[in-house]
Copies of this chain bind each other. A is one copy, B any other.
Amino acid sequence: MIDTYLLEQLAAVHECGTLSAAAEKLHLTQPSLTRSMQKLETLFGVKLFDRSKNRIVLNENGVLAAECAKHILAEENEMIQRVRTLDRSSRMITVGAISPGPMFELSPLISSVYPSKTITTEIRTEDELIQGLTDGTYQMIILNREFKSPAVHCIPCGTEQLYFSLPPEHRLSQKPECSFSEMNGENFVVAQNIGYWDNIIREQMPDSKFFLQDNIDALTEIVQASTMPAFVTDITLRVFSRRTNRVYIPISGEAAIEHFYCVCRADEALKLERLLQTLQRRIQ
């Protein structure tokens, strides 16, 4: 059988074209590569190179061998990734979400269904989420649209309504609701990792500026102490109910409501069955 280090060296020689270049890439010396390539030829029992005195080039056999070597090395890496992912998924559930709101309620729910597992949440873009679901990084992702595919299970998991958080003295604080355009141009303090909401507010209020704050407690204090407009949602109001000196005005229009969907791979659905059933029940 052929040792892995020989495959790596062969692949490097194929990519670099010369032994010296490959040696540099691999942090080895040329003589070492010379010996390795000779050893490969004896192992295959076949010439892999065309040699002139000062030059060594992969021949037809060598090119095939190098391509196979790369393929095998890729499979080996994939093996490591798969095993690590499997191990991780056995001790933790990693959920990727398009925005943090639904996780405030979903995380405790998952904890209650799988008390022994650690729950990790990541806020990412839709493309990253779908990629991560495919490669096993996420056992579950939360999107803001339905995702139909035979490869996944997709169930709705609630909505989130955006509100303006205004000081009582604000000119619009008495309105029963308020549109994005009415507030366009005003400046806001905003939590940093709000996921997809970031796109929405920048799109709906292109003339506004948004001051980002990564610490949620600091943000709360700033909001309390200032008269700057800010945002809350129905979910954050439920989860972090606090006495404040703020008025919360629901934002009108479809853009201020997100409909969330919980997506997991069909081939993983069995492992998550209890969670999915719980989610289904909660929705009804």
Contact = CB atoms under 8 A, between A and B. Distances in A.
B71 A86 contact: no
Interface in A64-93: 64-65, 68-69, 71-73, 75-76, 78-80, 82-84, 86-87, 90
A3 interface: yes
B46 A64 contact: no
Contact of A72 (B8, B79, B86, B87): B79
A44 interface: yes
A150 interface: no
Copies of this chain present: 2
Contact count band on A: 20 to 34
Interface string A7-49: 0100000000000000000000000000000000001111110
Given A69-B79, A72-B72, A84 B3 contact: no
Interface of A: 1-5, 8, 43-48, 60-61, 64-65, 68-69, 71-73, 75-76, 78-80, 82-84, 86-87, 90
A-B residue pairs, 8 tightest by C-beta: A68-B79, A46-B87, A65-B83, A61-B87, A1-B4, A61-B83, A3-B4, A4-B4
30 contacts: A1-B4, A2-B76, A2-B79, A2-B80, A3-B3, A3-B4, A3-B5, A4-B4, A43-B80, A44-B84, A44-B87, A45-B84, A46-B83, A46-B84, A46-B87, A60-B86, A61-B83, A61-B87, A61-B90, A65-B79, A65-B83, A68-B75, A68-B78, A68-B79, A68-B82, A68-B83, A69-B79, A71-B75, A72-B72, A72-B75
